Each structure stands twice: as C-alpha cells, then as structure tokens.
Homo-oligomer: A and B are copies of this chain.
C-alpha cells in the first residue's frame, strides 16, 4: 500500500486550519476525512477506519486527550498526530505519553513538516504489520514442518521394538534419543527361532529426514530378508555377515546417499554363543561379567559406501551371566572431558559399574535427563544368563 492511498481523519474545530490542512494533504494524494469536534471525530474513527488521525487538543464536546485515550483503546496501533497550540504543553506531554505518534505546534509554518510526520507514522505502522505477518508466517511454517516431522518421528518410533522385552533367559531394553525429530540411530531385536535371538544397533550418518530414510530401509531389509529365510526353512544358517552384505548392497542401490555404521549379532541360547559382525561401528560393544567390562573385538567397513565390502562373523562363547551393551557414538558426547581416547578407555569401566539395568546405565551416562541432543544417542542393553 503506497502512502498516498491512505485515508486520514482530521479532527479540528477550527474550520480554516482544517480546510487548509485537508487541501494540502488531498493535493499530496491522501484521502482526507474531516470532523468538526471530538465527538464527531470519534464516531467517524469508528465508522470509517482511517489509517491515521490528526487532531487538535482543545475542542468542544470531547477534548483531544480523551479522544486519544479512546482511539488508542480501540486500536493501540493507530497513529495519532497532535496539531495543537503552544499554550497547552501539559496536554502535549500527556498526549505523547498516551502514545500519540507526534506533536506539532500550531500554526504549522510549512505543511511539508506535517506530511513528513504522517508518512513516517504510516511507515511505522506498515512495518509493524509486516513484522507481525512475517512472524505469523514463520510460526505457521514451523508448525507445518513440525507436524511433518512429528508424523515422521511417530512412524519411525513405531518401527522400534518393544522395550523392555524378555524372552527365555534374555532381557532386552533400548533407548533412542533423537536429535531434533528424525533420528539416524536405530535398534532392533527379535527371536528368529527357538534357539536364536537377533539384534542390531545402527548409526546412520547425519540426522533428519534423509538419515531417517536409511533407518526405514534397514528395518525393511532386515525383516524381509529374515522372513524369506524363514519361508525357505533356512533360518538356522543365518549369518550376520551375509545380512550386513545385503544391507550394504541395498543402501548403495537405494541411491539415498547415506552410509551406516552397525553392530549386528545373534545370540544362541542353546550353546550360549554370540555370533556378531561389525560395520565400522564405534564405540565397540561392551561385554560385562562379574563386575568387569571389556570391548568386543572386530572391525569391518562402513555399510553403504563400498560395493565390494565384505563382512566377517566373529563367534564367541558367552559367560554364564553377562550384559552386552551397544552404543551409538553420540554417547561419547555425554561423557566428561574432551579427550576421545580417554572417554573410550573409561566407558567399559563405567558400564560395568552400572550394568544392572538400562535405567541405572542411562542414568550413569547422563541420558535420563535428555529429551533431545545435538547428535542422536542410542543404547541397546542385553542381559543374559546361560540356560
């Protein structure tokens, strides 16, 4: 809206002053309304919705100060310019305190001064409205984006397994704290036959929607592959390294441009063994028993980057009673100190001291108080006892 389309309301009982101001402002392109006293002025203000009010202070029926008070009460953003005699300074102060935009002394030597004041006031109002509109749009965009993300978050969280979960002599529990809304961390576990339980923890590069796509793929590739093996009666021959190879291939072919670090394993409750494979994941899993903790060995390429990547299976005998803790590297940010090497060294000891349950462990790691963090943080906790 250019200024010249604005409607101005002049309220003044002095016909000559009113007419000369009106004529000048009409020549400048404004639409000008005129009222002969405060009462008429207030009525016209209510019915005509002008963009700006110019008023005298000393008027019959309704004085300028009361008029301003009522105008500002109806519309706090309405610019009011007072044009009044020099003899009523107290009122001038009061008018400005009430929120009048400007105060000009009659007679106005040059009406350019008034026009300048009008334009400045209209510009201020316009800027304030633009600012409000901008803020509103910002809030609406944010709400829409958050709705999107919340729906995505919900879909993603739905795909996580039940926690805690007890099966025979194994206890599983997990905690995933997403950065922002969509996480690049994912865990899963389920029974694949009478003896074997399968699990993995994955950490997709980055976070947000694109990383969450990769976690959806992981879940899908894993479950559908196991489902197929099941149908063919081949599930006993399942090798984590082969499945990790499939995931590697699937991620590359998907073209979503994401890579993942993973730890994947199968616990056989019959012979109390663990067969696991590593896809470039750090920190390594921590195995605790009898109050002591140590990292499992193993390495392997990051998953989803190299077409020729080959993964290997490592099989170990599990202790009679143990806990196995898988963590994403976001956990290292929670530990005190700035030395990564030092943090890695202290982690197994810290875990061994608090490995009674997921709760005491996540308390000790400072996860409990967190709702969201700069990086995704996740923890998969497995407690087992030989049958």
Residues in A lying within 8 Å of B, measured CB to CB: 89-90, 92-93, 96-97, 102-103, 135, 138-139, 141-142, 144-149, 151-156, 158-159, 180-182, 206-210, 212-213, 216-217, 219-221, 223-224, 227, 250, 253-258
A-B CB contact pairs (8 Å), 9 listed = A89-B93, A92-B93, A142-B142, A151-B206, A154-B257, A182-B209, A213-B213, A220-B253, A223-B253
Report the nearest B residue to A134, measured CB to CB: B135
Instruction: Looking at the assembled complex, report how far the CB atom of A130 sits from the nearest CB atom of chain B, in whole angstroms.
Output: 13
Tell whether A97 pairs with B96 under 8 Å between CB atoms, given A152-B209, A155-B213, A155-B257.
yes
Complex Cα spacing A27 to B351, Å: 55
Tell whether A255 pairs with B182 under 8 Å between CB atoms, given A208-B152, A220-B217.
no
In contact, A256 and B216 (Cβ under 8 angstroms): yes
In contact, A145 and B89 (Cβ under 8 angstroms): no
Chain B neighbourhood of A206, CB < 8 A: 151
Chain B neighbourhood of A209, CB < 8 A: 148-149, 151-153, 155, 182, 209, 212
Instruction: Looking at the assembled complex, report how far the CB atom of A10 sits from the nearest CB atom of chain B, in whole angstroms.
Output: 21
Main secondary structure of the interface of A (DSSP, over half): helix
Complex Cα spacing A32 to B214, Å: 60
In contact, B256 and A159 (Cβ under 8 angstroms): yes
Instruction: Looking at the assembled complex, report how far the CB atom of A211 sits from the nearest CB atom of chain B, in whole angstroms.
Output: 8
Chain B neighbourhood of A89, CB < 8 A: 89-90, 92-93
In contact, A148 and B213 (Cβ under 8 angstroms): no
In contact, B138 and A142 (Cβ under 8 angstroms): yes
Chain B neighbourhood of A141, CB < 8 A: 142
Complex Cα spacing A221 to B217, Å: 10
Report the nearest B residue to A254, measured CB to CB: B220
In contact, A159 and B92 (Cβ under 8 angstroms): no
Chain B neighbourhood of A152, CB < 8 A: 182, 208-210, 212-213
Chain B neighbourhood of A181, CB < 8 A: 145, 148
Q: Which of B153, B156, B224 has a CB less than 8 Å from the CB of A250?
A: B224
In contact, A208 and B159 (Cβ under 8 angstroms): no
Complex Cα spacing A138 to B221, Å: 37
Chain B neighbourhood of A138, CB < 8 A: 135, 138-139, 142
Instruction: Looking at the assembled complex, report how far the CB atom of A274 sits from the nearest CB atom of chain B, in whole angstroms.
Output: 27
Instruction: Looking at the assembled complex, report how far the CB atom of A315 sits from the nearest CB atom of chain B, in whole angstroms.
Output: 29
In contact, B217 and A148 (Cβ under 8 angstroms): no
Complex Cα spacing A25 to B92, Å: 29
Complex Cα spacing A145 to B142, Å: 8
Complex Cα spacing A159 to B214, Å: 13
Tell whether A255 pairs with B180 under 8 Å between CB atoms, given A92-B93, A208-B148.
no
